[in-house]
Each structure stands twice: as structure tokens, then as C-alpha cells.
Structure 1
Amino acid sequence: MVIRTVCNKDIGKYDNGEIRVYGIWGMGGIGKTTLAQLAYNHTIVNQYFDLRCWVYVSENFQVNEIIKKIIESVDKSGCTLTQLDTLQASLQSKLREKKFLIVLDDVWAEEDEKEKWERLSGTLSCGAEGSIVVMTTRSERTCRMMTKVGELRHQLGCLSEENSWLLFKKHAFAQGRVGDDVRKLEPIGREIVVKCKGLPLAVKTLGSLMWSKSSSNDWQRVKDSNIWNLQENNVLPALKLSYDNLAPHLKRCFSYFCLFPKGHELKKDELILLWVANGFIPPKEETDNLYVIGEEFFNCLIWKSLFQVEKGNKYEDGIDRCKMHDLVHDMARHVMKHDCLVIEPACNEVKIPDEVLHLSSSCPDEKLNLSSEDLGKLTSLRSIFMFGEGDEGCITQLLNHVYVRVLHLALTM
């Protein structure tokens, strides 16, 4: 249905030449991004459009940033432009007379941001006939604001109990079973599946967890866990169960990813080196290669559905990358809230606790209010990640911090 609609220029066509927008909406973890990816990567879609690009939006709906990300996706390189009119002109020069597909993933835009959306959609209304924007969102209100035609809206519902079981079984019983007979485990497994409430992310993650548990007693303990009554906002019980069953070293490696912004794709090699730098990988023997052990950890987290792998054949350098689902990212931040401080543009002026271990900021420097004296007090600080705008003074301060093991700068000057 999605592919047929996206590739039919007459469905939802506007007489005024405005860009068509197809909206996929539903609750978190229900598979909106997966559905959009299936359409985006389909052969028919690939052949139909001259140009395709994918942009992760998330909570901070900033027109400048979204346009910049689209330009970077089209050019496959960084964009140094900052002024809105310059960004708009640059993007339109790349899109004009091309039939394009742009995916805006995980959009959060309130009704009071309608003007921002109209500014963005106006910029995008320059392509050839048949061009379309596909957006995913958890909010029906956002979907209705951005898609003006009912036939261009797709509400994604929960899995049925039987389909949930089939997905769970695919992961829980992968590569055969050891221990109790599957017939003994199935009744317990079906009860676990009901607790996932039809959310594919929860079902898949729990299935991956149960694969490593061989006895019916282990399965029963998961089914009866108190975590199912968890009241924490944005943390799915199924994800917390999976995290709690990780070995301590895997917990550290997994949760460290929360220092990167949501939707961020990171090369596998870079992530493993960050783990090594922080001492997260304990050697079994003195002569062990820590990178090789790190690869084992990486593959384990992929297998447990806590990381999503993006295969290297999508990229010019051929290197595998990984990212986290939004809800998994929320959970990683939750479990690291005492060790990590993540400062985002929506934050007000922030004071950094002296005992923080890892700091990540995507704010302008003035919000950090970080003097040399303040930085000197942060003797526990081991990682600093800086995204967005920065200046030479800030970088000089960071370079002089003697305790830091990881300094990651992704700044525009």
C-alpha cells in the first residue's frame, strides 16, 4: 500500500503544486521507521525516483537543521551553510526538476510550529511532478498538520497476538534450542508475548533475550518479573528486562551510546575504539586483542536487538554502522542518568555536576557556561562529546583537560 501510494503521482495531488506528504503515525516501537525503510529500499521506489534521502528529525523541529541534513544527505558530505535563505536556495538548486523522495523520520511538530512546517514544505515544493515527502511520527496531530489528504495518512496498529507470537518465536527459537523442550516453553512464551502488547520492538527484544535462556524456570522468572509493572516514563519493561540481563561489561558498552544524539549512525570501528579507550572491555588474557573482544560485544548487542546495524554496502566506504531505536536510546539514558549528562538545545542554562563521568552537548557554548575553572573541577570526567556549534576557546579548554580519555568533536566553527 505504501509503495503504491508513494509511486502514484495522482494520489493526494495538490492543484497548487505543493509537495505531497505521506504520513505514517502510531505509538513508539510499533514499526513506523521499519515500514518507511521497507518502502525506501524497495526496487520499485528506487527506480521511480531520481533522488532519495533520509533525515532523522526527532523532538527539535528546526527548519535550518532539517534543510542542512537534507543537503548533507544529497551531497553525502558536510554542509557549512547556516543562514536559512542560503540553505533554502542551495537545497532548491539540488532538487529542482528532480523527482525526489525525502523521508523525515520521527517528526515532532506541535500546532504552534505549523509556520515552521509551511516554511519547510514551501522549500521542498520545487521538484518534478511525483515528488513526495514521507514522514513518521507518534502524533496523530502532527500527521494531520503535515498531510492534508486523508488517503496520504497511514495509521500503524499493534501486532495481533498470533503475529506477535510468530515474531517472538523467530527470535526466541532461532538456531534451534537447548534445554527444555519447545513444547514446555511455548505456553510461557505466549504469556510473555501478551505482556508486550503487540509492540514489535518489545516482542523482538524479548524474543532475543529468551533465546539465551534454556530452562522453563528461567522463562517463568521473566514472565513473573516485577519490571512489567515499571512506571518509568519512556522506558518499556521489555527493554529494561533485556538490559538487566546483560553482563556488567555489556551494560557499560550498550549504555555509552546514549551520549550520541538520537538517530545518530556510528561506525562499528569507532564505537569499539571508544569502548577500549574507556576501559569497558576486560581482557581475558594479557595478550588478548581488545578490538576483537569488542567485536564480540558489538555482535552480541546486535543479536539482542539493542543495536540496529546498517550494512556497509549502503555507504561509499563500505563500513558497517549501528544506531539505536528511539525507545532503546531513552532507556540507555535512563540507566546512565547518574554517570552521563546530555545537554540538548531545548535545555536551559546547565550546571555540570562535579561527579559526572561522561558529558555530551549539542548546545551552543554559551549555554554550557563552562569556564576553565569549572572544567578543572570535573576530575571525574572521562568523556566529552561536542556536537553543533563551537569556538576555538571552548576546544582549547577541552584539550587541556588532563583526565579525559575520549574527546569527540563534531563542531561547526
Structure 2
Amino acid sequence: MQWRRTSHHRERRTHGESDTNAMCRACHAPAIKEFRECRSSLYIRAVLQVERDSHKRIVIGAHGQYFNNLRSSVLLRRPESARVSRIVSREQRAVLAFLVAFLLSMTPTAIQAQQGGEFLLIPLSARAVGQGDAVIADTTLGTAAMWWNPASLSRLSKREIAVHHGQNVIYQANMVALAVPSKVLGTLSLSGLIVDYGRYPSFAPDGSPNGGEIGTYNYQLAASYASSIGDRFSAGVTYKFLMFRNACSGYCGPNFTSASGSSNAVDFGAQYVVPIKLPLTLGAAIRNLGPSMPVRDAAQADPLPRFIQIGGRLQIPSAALKKNNASLEVSSDLMHSDAISGTAIGMGVTLGYREMLFLQGGYKAMAEDQSEGGPSIGVGFRRGGFGIDIARRFDRLSSPIGEPPTFVTLRARF
């Protein structure tokens, strides 16, 4: 199945209009683009248009339930040696294709208010994903702190340049960041981010290709500043310029209208090393404070997904671990945002060896209607000033269809 995001002008909801009617506008009539008979199966390629990127998750459903329902609905019982064409007539196959497209267009009848800038919820940074996103009190985040808690930047002792990559079935995200610490002035960091939702061919109303390609993108330019106050407390702030763009290259027909919008946001964060025998650090951050992001005009602006996250990180004191040049850290975070249907909990464990090899495991518990939760694993390697982290999350959206999200971070310190 191909995804196509429409650029139709969003109609304003009239007084008393139901959520169901609003949802009807989110998806448009599906089109069958390819119908092919194999020896033991039918291949049907359909294009379903959705108005927002977040509607893709709604159509897929929790745990991929809509794909599972579709699979069950079109299952044909037949003798093993029989060909499909002997069982199903041409007219029946046409009806079956229509039913498949209809099932693909089915969505829940109620939906919460959509958020603008949903790409701000991407768990960018492999180190964070491997720990179940429980990194708000992590003092070793480096440039990834621009995405999670800018206060952690104050702990950098060397300059760092890094590339953070993340992808799942919906998007590919790439961020390049540079951080420059100073013992006197604190740490200054700059980053640029591009989130690409893919390019898809444009089709005319009759189903024929127009020759153009439609692409949807999010952009972010950010600047952070962090400083320590004493040995235990640090604070930081990040300013972000956000952009959205839906555009077509080539000819997409007279009905296509490009869409774009921009907004600003600010993040605040703090970390505190607790003065007790156990090496415990506490952290807190509030992200995405700013005006709504308009697509075409202020009346259609959507609020940014404001996010509050608090948590702690504890290094387990163990003589046995120390004797074997190993370390063990555990962390737990509490996260709250209307964009994730309330509250989520992240938990992570990091086992290190000689400050060179790191194994991570984590779990992010979320509401059942959210697809991004689930277990995660990660591995990290440090050698001199070079470091690489790789992590995967087995969430409810990507895992059922065989594409668990993958995150990679490359960084160099000098």
C-alpha cells in the first residue's frame, strides 16, 4: 500500500460538527493502482490519501490491527493445487479489489485533536532510544541534549560534532549538531534537522499518473545554551525555528496546492546531582513552548506538542563491577503530553565495559492507542574521541509489518 498525503485545503469545523465528519475528511477515496494474479495469491496495490502524517498511524491501527483484519478478510480457502483464476471470476476479483480498498480506508470514528509539529515527538538519538527514552537526567548526552534536556550540554568538556539518524515506516530524520563548551561562558550548540516523509507519485482524478512527485518535509534549526551553577546544578535553554512544507516537483495537475507553515518554540531543562552517597542525578525539562503552527492561515493553526519530562538516573555502586572495569546505570522517566494521550513511563539500563563498550535495554510504556511504545535495545562503542550508537525499538506501529525503527548516532569529540 502506498501513502499519499493530500494538500487539500482543510475546511473549518462548523459548530456542532461531529468528530466522525471531521475524520471523514482525513482520508480520501482509495484507488487501485495495480492488480496482479500470482500462482498462489493475489497482489493488489492501492493508494490511500490522508490529510495528515499522523493519520497514517490511525489507518494502520494499534498492533497493525487493520492489516491483520485485512489479511483475514481477503483470505481465500481453496485446494492447494487450484489457481486463483479458477476459484474467483474476473467480476469477483474486481469486487474483492474494491473491498480491499474500502478496508484500507476504514479508520476509527473518533480521534483526538491533532497536534502541529508532531515530528517533535520523534525519539531522536540512538542512546536515548536504547534506554527507553529515559535520559532526562543523563549527563553524557552530548549534542543529543538539544533534543531532550539542554542542561546536559553543560557537562561537555570537549567540542562535539554529531549526526543523529532515525527512521521508521513513516519518516526518515537526520540531524547534524555542533557543540562548543567553554569553562567561562558555558556551552553553545547549533543543529539542523530534516524529517522526510518520502516522495510519492502524483495521480490525476482518473487514476493516471501526472508525472509529478509529492513530498512532505519538516525542518528545524536550533540553538542551545547551557551552563553549570556550582558542581551540582546545571540549566539550559534551546530555541527552535520550525517549518513544514508539502510540495510537488514536476507537474502535479491544477488541483494540487502546496502548503507550508512555520513557528518558533523554546525548551528549558535542568539537572541536579543529589548530595548523597549514591551517585544519583535528577533531571527535568519542558519542551516545545511556543505558538501554534499554521499551515495556511492562523485560523487553521495547530498547537505544538508541549512535553514535560522528569526523571532520575542512578549508577549502581558495586565492588564486583568496579573490579571488572564495568559499570551499571539505571534510569526512569515520567513523561506527559496531550500528544501522547497523557502520561508515559520510560525505563532504561546501561551496562558499560572499560568505558568503551555499552549495552542498553529499555522499555517505554504508553497508552494503548499510542504506537511508539515498547521494548528497545542498543549498543554503543567509544574509542578516543569517536563514538557510535545503534538502537532499535520494537513498537506497535512498525514491528508488526517487519520494520522496527532504527536509530544511529555518530559523533566525534575534539
Shorter-chain TM range is under 0.3
Q: Could you tell me the TM-score, scaled by structure 1's length?
A: 0.22
Q: Could you tell me the TM-score, scaled by structure 2's length?
A: 0.22
Larger relative contact order (CA 8 Å, sep ≥ 6): 2
The structure with the largest helix share of the pair is 1
Larger radius of gyration: 2
